[in-house]
Amino acid sequence: MANTEATAKRWMQWLLEREEIPFRASLAPYFANPTFSRLCDCGCNSFDLAMTEKDLPLLCAPGERGGMFFELDYELTEDRQLEFLFFVDKAGRLTGVDIEVSGNNFPVPESPQIGKLTNVRQSRGCAP
């Protein structure tokens, strides 16, 4: 599906409802009034945020460098999976979520039929 701010906001709402995200309450302040720095147009639905307000909750302990700290995968049809990869900056703030199908080898479908959760991965020191 075309990657617009409206698309990103739909995914944000969906993510906030996922009980399998233990830190979803900490995502709410980022997603309530997001400032986007990038909406990828390769066919994925990834978005980056440009939000550095000091009162935003930290999702990881501050470190040397940021990066991916959390992944959720769901089954789609035809042996494909929908993947959500969460990233932080070195201060521990959310910088974006990559939303892609099977390692970004396929575009995100227009109306994905999201199946069961197949994988949750979390880095140490993150997402308490």
Task: Give me 71's structure tokens.
Answer: 């992944």
Tokens of 6: 């409206």
CB 67 → Zn ion: shortest distance, Å? Answer: 17
- Convert residues 12-41 into a mask of x (bound to Zn ion by CB under 5 A) and - (unbound): ----------------------------x-
Is residue 44 involved in binding Zn ion (CB under 5 A)? yes
Q: Minimum CB separation from Zn ion for residue 108, in Å? A: 9
DSSP-derived secondary structure for 63-80: -S--EEEEEEEEE-STT-
Beta bridge partners of 82: 74, 101
Q: Which residues bind Zn ion (CB under 5 A)?
A: 40, 42, 44, 46
